[in-house]
Amino acid sequence: MNLTSIPAFTDNYIWVLSDETGKCLIVDPGDAAPVLKKIAEERWQPVAILLTHHHHDHVGGVNELVKAFPELAVYGPQETHNKGATHIVTGGDKVNLLGLEFKIFATPGHTLGHISWFTSPWLFCGDTMFSGGCGRLFEGTAQQMYLSFQLLNLLQSETLICCAHEYTLSNLTFALSILPSNPDLNEYFLKVKELRAKNRSTLPSTLAIERKINIFLLTDNSDLIEKIPNETKLQHSEARFAWLRTNKDNF
């Protein structure tokens, strides 16, 4: 099975899993044009679209792709039922496609109905976990996003984090404003800065890497706890997660 990332818009990635016969699955096609171009180049045969949530930059290309490939199945959460989804799935469901069993995780926070798709080693987590960061809370709460992070953090360390945006450099810049002396952050920042200077992708990441450099997975880090002002000293990981998300919003 081959993993391909297709750049779209300013910083989106549309992910494609393809097998040796050319059959493929398309994840969060916000724009049909680059996907159709790649399908033609690779002579892929699309089998299904997998959606994580309802935002336009993740579903905007669905109708055009289905028009081009009428037999295409579209799987997504309830919030995508009017965005082209033909098969509604929810957390706990399992879907078999191209010989792979996908587990569906409910990962609310960015949106209320957000889901993530997992088939080892690939995790398609949309706008939940980014490399070095987490999604904005447009509909859900910090508590929901914290619990979604804890759920994803139960996966194997070699899990590939196939998130939907190239936000790694900005996420690490924020993290370093909180933990400027953290050696893992500083080392990875230099690596990412070099990649982006060459216009190269920083994704997919791995869960092993994220456990070291994603500040939203470092809520129990003693240095981070010390950075929180005394008058707002927060006793629980969940509260520190919310504090980080608020600070990231205002960064």
Is there a domain that residue 173 lies in? Answer: no
Q: Is residue 27 part of a domain?
A: yes
The verdict on whether 127 is a catalytic residue reads yes
| Cβ-contact 108, 151 below 8 angstroms | no
The reply to whether 114 belongs to the active site is: no
CB 166 within 8 A of CB 201: yes
Reported as type and span, the H/E element at residue 134 is strand 133-134
For residue 136, is it within any domain?
yes
Q: Largest Cα–Cα distance of the chain, in whole Å?
A: 60
Tell whether pTM > 0.85. Answer: yes
CATH number for position 85: 3.60.15.10
The answer to whether 105 touches 144, Cβ cutoff 8 Å, is no
When mean pLDDT is compared across 59-63, 209-213, 236-240, the lowest value belongs to 236-240
Q: Which residues pair with 247 in a beta bridge?
A: none
Residue among 28, 54, 114, 127 flagged as catalytic: 127
Active-site pick, 165, 184, 236, 249: 165
> Which of 28, 31, 55, 114 does the annotation list as catalytic?
55
Q: Within a domain: residue 241?
A: no
Local confidence band at 217 (pLDDT 50, 70, 90 cut-offs): very high
Q: Which domain holds residue 51?
A: 2-168+203-210
Report the sign of the C-alpha dihedral through residues 157, 161, 167, 169, in that order. Answer: positive
Q: Is 57 a catalytic residue?
A: yes
Is there a domain that residue 8 lies in?
yes
Strands 73-76 and 87-88: parallel
Tens-digit pLDDT profile for residues 113-144: 999 999 999 999 999 999 999 999 999 999 99
Please indicate whether residue 55 is annotated as part of the active site.
yes
Q: In 6-153, where does DSSP find H-type helix? A: 32-42, 56-59, 62-68, 142-152
Catalytic residue among 31, 53, 81, 249: 53
Q: What is the pLDDT of residue 232?
A: 67
Overall number of domains in the chain:
1
- Identify the band that residue 228 occupies on the pLDDT scale cut at 50, 70 and 90: confident
CB 145 within 8 A of CB 127: no
The mean pLDDT of the chain is: 97
For residues 73 and 167, what is the distance between their CA atoms, to the nearest angstrom? 30
Residue 95 belongs to some domain of the structure: yes
**Token code pair at residue 81:** 């039922």
Q: Is residue 180 part of a domain?
A: no
> Which segments of the chain does DSSP mark as H helices, in order?
32-42, 56-59, 62-68, 142-152, 168-178, 183-197, 207-213, 222-227, 237-249
User: Which residue from 120, 59, 117, 123 is spatially nearest to 93, judged by alpha carbons?
Assistant: 117
**pLDDT band, residue 203 (cuts 50/70/90):** very high
**Among the listed ranges 63-67, 167-171, 233-237, which one has the minimum average pLDDT value?**
233-237
Residue 185, domain member (yes or no)? no
Given the residues 28, 31, 54, 110, select the one marked as catalytic: 110
Active site residue 58: yes
